[in-house]
Amino acid sequence: MLNRRHIRIKILQLLYSKTTGKTDNRSLLKQFEQTSQNFYKLFLTQLILFKEIFIESIRVVDLNEKKYFKEDSKLIVNLFAENKLLKSIHSDKFLVKASEKYELNYWTNNINKVQNIFKEILSSEIFINYSKSENSFVQDIYKNVIACNNELFDFYEDCEIGWVDDFPLVNTMVLNWLINSSVNGSASIPTKIFKDRSDKKFGKELFKIAVKDDKNTQDLINEHTPEWDNDRIAVVDMIILKMCIHEFISFPSIPVKVSINEYVEISKEYSSPNSSTFINGVLNNIYRKLDKEGMINKNKRGSQ
């Protein structure tokens, strides 16, 4: 579920909180687990939204038939009520259990939100002029109607702390899941917050190492940024540099290129427009120095 980049972002957010606040390390580590669970809950809630949209489509079709508006229901039936992927989500047993376990009753308590989103879909150009296969339909309405829905964004902001920050990442994951699932009209919903124990362990270890922030790491950065005072380097950029240096030294199974590429990409999303170039240059120079001094010891996997 949560991949290594998401975990790095979570740790970056926690380290930023520590820099700008007074939260103790133990509390921040608990936040890592809590925010990871909340991320997973938001992912599931987005899938449950599809389930509720499917139910709403059935309700609308029934209403139309009672009013003898059968012609108006044909497209709704074809794209919603008979959609294999939506039916699969609706009948998924794990989603039912997860909804009960995590008390994901956001939609049942706010069914008007579902109805508003469904109406927006029906009034969209995508629905009115849809000519592709039903497999692509769920992807298209998610990308063009649901993911950019302001009412939904505001609703999630009121539901859980941190969901607004997670929303873009979760949207990307949901869209990728839909794309992978649409091939045969069914899908396997991720059943765990982390892909495996090693990923969760990676997050905790990275936090514990980075939070120490020893003087040697700061001196190393200072040495390779002679034209920059510490105050001129953005807080996020400084944290990213330190996290990556710790990965160079303390995580033998992670290739150096992977670490650099991951943090450069993260900086594009979470820092200033010029940060990625700055971070890429500094990290490559620091890597060459550490490698020359024999400070980087990667195992077979990390040397790939």
Q: Which domains does the chain have, with CATH numbers?
A: 4-181 (no CATH), 213-292 (1.10.940.10)
Judge whether 252 and 302 are in contact, CB under 8 Å. Answer: yes
The band of 71, judged by pLDDT with boundaries at 50, 70 and 90, is: low
Q: Residue 68 above 70 pLDDT?
A: no
Amino acid at the residue 249: I
Q: Tens digits of per-residue pLDDT, 217-246?
A: 999 999 999 888 767 789 999 999 999 999
User: What tens digit of pLDDT does each residue of 21-37 get?
Assistant: 778 888 898 999 999 99
Whole-number average pLDDT of the chain: 91
In the predicted model, is pLDDT for residue 181 greater than 70? yes
Which pLDDT does position 115 carry in this prediction?
97
For 163, other C-beta atoms within 10 Å of its C-beta total: 20
Is pLDDT at 280 greater than 60 in this prediction? yes
pLDDT of 257 = 96
Mean pLDDT confidence for 162-173: 91
How does residue 147 score in pLDDT terms, banded at 50, 70 and 90?
A: very high
Q: Is 211 exposed, middle or buried (0-12, 13-18, 19+ CB in 10 A)?
A: middle
With 70 as the cut, is the pLDDT of residue 187 above it? no
Percent of the chain with pLDDT over 70: 95
Region 110-137: mean pLDDT is 90
Given pLDDT bands bounded at 50, 70 and 90, which one contains residue 136?
confident
Residue 148's pLDDT is 93
Q: At 72, is the pLDDT very low, low, confident or very high (cuts 50, 70, 90)?
A: low
For residue 89, pLDDT beyond 80: yes
Question: If pLDDT is split at 50, 70 and 90, which confidence band does 40 have?
Answer: very high
Instruction: For tokens 């298209």, name the residue.
Output: 140
Residue 193 phi/psi, 5° resolution? -65, -45
Whether residue 185 has pLDDT greater than 60:
no
Least confident range from 63-72, 143-152, 292-301: namely: 63-72
| pLDDT tens string 191-222 | 999 988 899 999 999 999 998 877 889 999 99
pLDDT tens profile 42-60: 999 999 999 999 999 999 9
Q: Kindly state the average pLDDT of the residues 123-127.
A: 92
Quote the percentage of the chain above a pLDDT of 90: 71
